[in-house]
Structure 1
Amino acid sequence: MARPTPLSGFPEWLPEGRIIEQHVLDVLRRTFELHGFVGIETRAVEPLDQLLRKGETSKEVYVMRRLHEEPGSEPDRADTLGLHFDLTVPFARYVLENAGHLAFPFRRYQIQKAWRGERPQDGRFREFVQADIDVVGAGTLPYHYEVELPLVMAEALGALREIGVPPVRVLVNNRKVAEGFYRGLGLTDVEAVLRNIDKLDKIGADAVAGLLVAEAGASEDQARACLALAAISGSDESVIDRVRALAGESNDLLDEGLDELGALIRAASVRAPGVVVADLKIARGLDYYTGSVYETVIVGHEQLGSICSGGRYDTLASDGANTYPGVGLSIGVSRLVSRLISRGLVTTTRSVPSAVLVAVSNEDDRGRSDAVAAALRARGIPVEVAPSAAKFGKQIRHADRRRIPFVWFVGGDGQAADQVKDIRSGEQVDADASVWTPPEADLWPRVVPA
């Protein structure tokens, strides 16, 4: 058989990488649950017409079909299934299907794989893990959730600092501020303005100014004003004053947006000082978000792009009679983990769960080694038994290659005491499988700064 070729865009971590990923997921899950979010999981597929209902390109959707279709059958878009490319569409469908069984506001977290047929590059994959949190209301949803959600994410990502993950910045804006400001300038094609402002980091201010004139109908003065707004950022309420000064005349929509953005900045200055930063060029979700919008970057790794984004949406789902507004954020777990691994930012204390290798003196006595391992496992200690009754030096080297810290030797004649050896220090002591426990730091593999 020829040596297999890796599939681009479908990451497969080595054991150490999987331990790192699992630790990240555990920290996120624990933080979400501390804030009262309940975990759900939705199916991997949705009808293709639902996946494409917000205008996403069909080129990015992986379509599901049987290898052998019925003769003469023509696929119908409404009946065709596609793998979901994010967790929003399946969650919207889940809310509609289960609204009668959910208590609103509904606080949900969801950690699952998604699939997107885009060109793989650094931090972008065709198969990836996302971790989402949302709060969804029935009919209405108070603004304070727009303050709470980015702070929960800041806490979750901040909890990863102890393993060596760099600090993050949660960049926030409010669509009402942008729209109120643009309309105050006399611009009516707000979507075109937002679409081009969103290109600032990629093509620069001069190119964006040209696009605003060509595509959004802006004059040169209006284009300069839009760019001046996008240049405003900061972590205190002076941001609000700068926007008001730039706008000159106010309007209801601008005032509402600035009041909301100010409330978020004030709360963040208390709960996450320096982490949440107002950035007036954040424009994501052109036809989707209706209030606060968020993007999150790793400090020192900004070129990776946002690892966590989201915002307020007034129509997550609607059945014609009821509307379900919400606010949510999504962490690109695979993007984050790939950066931690590729840049060597974190490492693991070992690549296997086992804290102890029970040596085997000869194959006839393997049952005694198995009994010791069972006794240790019953007390919550991860153990494996040596693969063969080789010389003890070879068994110790086997443990060392796997970074297993302790080797257990069963008493030779059944009367002598068992002994356990810390192969790092060389210390060897008598041990009883009913009472001996490794130090807490050695019990399970840990993720630590590199």
Structure 2
Amino acid sequence: MPISGFPEWMPPQRMIEQRVLDRIRSTFELYGFSPLETRSVEPLETLVSKGETSKEVYLLRRLQADENAKDDDSLGLHFDLTVPFARFVVENAGKLQFPFRRYQIQKVWRGERPQEGRYREFLQADIDVVNRGELPFHYDTEMPLVIGDALSGLPIPAIRIQVNNRKVCEGFYRGLGLADTAQVLRTVDKLDKIGPARVAEALIETAGATRAQAEACLELAAISAEDGSFVDAVRKLGVDDPLLDEGLNELLQVVETARENAPGLVVAELKIARGLDYYTGTVYETQLRGYERFGSVSSGGRYDNLAASGNERFPGVGYSIGVSRMLGVLFGQNALSVSRSVPTCVLVALPNEDQRPDCVRIASALRRRGIPTEVAPSAAKFGKQIQYADRRGIPYVWFPGEPDTVKDIRSGDQVEADAAAWLPPAGDLHPVISAG
């Protein structure tokens, strides 16, 4: 029986997922990120202190718990990969070379309400750069370029990265005279869910804002630009604060770097806040063009205080691709397909069971040369064996004989072939993912 929020892809979907992961992994490594995998559980006190996620954390508990075991009630499954990564950095700081660039592709768990593209168990692919003491800002400008590169090589809709800087928001709120900037951020972050009118009311009720202050917060959140013009738009609102100036300068660097290296990829969107409390500067959210109604499929930001040991800080910036979320949305809209339902490129036909060893030798010769091959399951009539291949989308059937022949069952073309030399066209070697 299916369990809501715990997806199980069928093999064709899993093949698509694997190809997506291959692309993401190879791109991350092109940019010099090293692989890492951390444990699935973290101390509960760590998980519930990192943002509004305590109600979503899954506890880890044994069925036959020992009442004297102190740790049975204090472990939870991680809800993201950034918090465990920060813990790993602190614990292993003496063994790491800084700045430390890592990628991590793992399952995470959140007990939220399942819906299309949102799951309780899902796969994330993260990159982070962490340094000891101070982390230069240019890493913030690099992050969108890596994500854009990783996803642009896939047959998915084009992405648009919305970027903001919490210093802009916090400096602006402070300049307005609003003291509880964290509460204002959390409230403004709900704009897309509840709309500006209800956000304004919530700011008045929960953050102590006047009507004028609430309206000013909404004016800031309405600013959007693909170039540096957002700076003038903010200035026209007439609010001054040193932190605001710092944030505008940083945000301008991210936008201008993207405009130079990947035009059209990034837009400054001053309503973006991100719900997790540990972000301190740049924040990113990514949408699939044409699928904006499903929200962000990839997000991240700068965190200066998440990882610390004594007086030593390890500031970082990271970005996470919600692989399951992105694919779940696309699968739900039938926006991705794969050319065949199995990896097999060649089916070796079986004339009779006595010839199975010969057929296995042919299959082995093809596999040694990187051609995915299987031997027919039984010595049925050749018509049925061809039908078996056709149902699975296997493009070629190999007929042992004197000489051997191989048939493209789509076109009907059949030619003599040698297992030590024959090659299929490159487009047939592996299943091909395409849009729609």
Indicate conservation of the 8 Å contact 2:52/2:277, yes or no. no
CA distance in 1, matches of 2:45, 2:72: 5
* Unaligned runs of at least 5 residues, structure 2: none
User: What is the match of residue 7 of structure 1?
Assistant: 3
Q: Given the alignment of the two structures, is residue 112 of structure 1 paired with residue 106 of structure 2, yes or no?
A: yes
User: What is the match of residue 200 of structure 2?
Assistant: 209
Q: Given the alignment of the two structures, is residue 270 of structure 1 paired with residue 266 of structure 2, yes or no?
A: no
Counterpart amino acid of 2:108? Answer: A
CA distance in 2, matches of 1:55, 1:278: 24
> Aligned runs of 1:8-47 on 2, under 5 Å?
8-47=4-43
Superposition TM-score, scaled by structure 2 size: 0.97
CA distance in 1, matches of 2:422, 2:53: 59
Q: Given the alignment of the two structures, is residue 417 of structure 1 paired with residue 403 of structure 2, yes or no?
A: yes
User: What is the match of residue 151 of structure 1?
Assistant: 145
Q: Given the alignment of the two structures, is residue 447 of structure 1 paired with residue 433 of structure 2, yes or no?
A: yes
Indicate conservation of the 8 Å contact 1:194/1:286, yes or no. no
Q: Given the alignment of the two structures, is residue 228 of structure 1 paired with residue 219 of structure 2, yes or no?
A: yes
Indicate conservation of the 8 Å contact 1:233/1:280, yes or no. yes
- Cα distance change on mapping 1:78 and 1:253 into 2, 3 Å: farther
Q: Given the alignment of the two structures, is residue 60 of structure 1 paired with residue 56 of structure 2, yes or no?
A: yes
Q: Given the alignment of the two structures, is residue 298 of structure 1 paired with residue 288 of structure 2, yes or no?
A: yes
Aligned pair partner of 1:400 in 386, 390, 398: 390
Indicate conservation of the 8 Å contact 1:191/1:286, yes or no. no
SS of structure 2 residue aligned to 1:316:
coil
User: What is the match of residue 370 of structure 2?
Assistant: 380
SS of structure 2 residue aligned to 1:50:
helix
User: What is the match of residue 430 of structure 1?
Assistant: 416
Stretch of structure 1 that moved more, 213-222 or 272-281: 213-222
CA distance in 1, matches of 2:292, 2:40: 31
- Percent of aligned pairs with the same amino acid: 62
Q: Note the C-alpha offset of 1:251.
A: 2.5
CA distance in 2, matches of 1:58, 1:284: 16
User: What is the match of residue 356 of structure 1?
Assistant: 346
Aligned pair partner of 1:195 in 179, 186, 200: 186
User: What is the match of residue 279 of structure 1?
Assistant: 269
* Unaligned runs of at least 5 residues, structure 1: none
- Listed one character per residue, the Cα deviations across residues 241-289 of structure 1 (whole Å, up to 9, x for unaligned) are 111111x253211111111111111111111211100011111145311
Indicate conservation of the 8 Å contact 1:353/1:382, yes or no. yes
Q: What's the C-alpha RMSD, in Å, of the aligned pairs?
A: 1.5
Indicate conservation of the 8 Å contact 2:176/2:239, yes or no. no
Stretch of structure 1 that moved more, 269-278 or 57-66: 57-66
Q: Given the alignment of the two structures, is residue 176 of structure 1 paired with residue 162 of structure 2, yes or no?
A: no
Q: Given the alignment of the two structures, is residue 100 of structure 1 paired with residue 99 of structure 2, yes or no?
A: no
SS of structure 1 residue aligned to 2:172:
helix
- Cα distance change on mapping 1:127 and 1:66 into 2, 3 Å: same
Counterpart amino acid of 2:39? Answer: R
Indicate conservation of the 8 Å contact 1:268/1:276, yes or no. yes
Superposition TM-score, scaled by structure 1 size: 0.94
User: What is the match of residue 177 of structure 2?
Assistant: 186
Counterpart amino acid of 2:301? Answer: G
Q: Note the C-alpha offset of 1:134.
A: 0.5
Stretch of structure 1 that moved more, 59-68 or 302-311: 59-68
Counterpart amino acid of 2:47? Answer: L
> Aligned runs of 1:65-144 on 2, under 5 Å?
65-70=61-66, 73=67, 76=70, 80-144=74-138
Q: How many residues are aligned here? A: 436
CA distance in 2, matches of 1:44, 1:220: 45
CA distance in 2, matches of 1:308, 1:382: 33
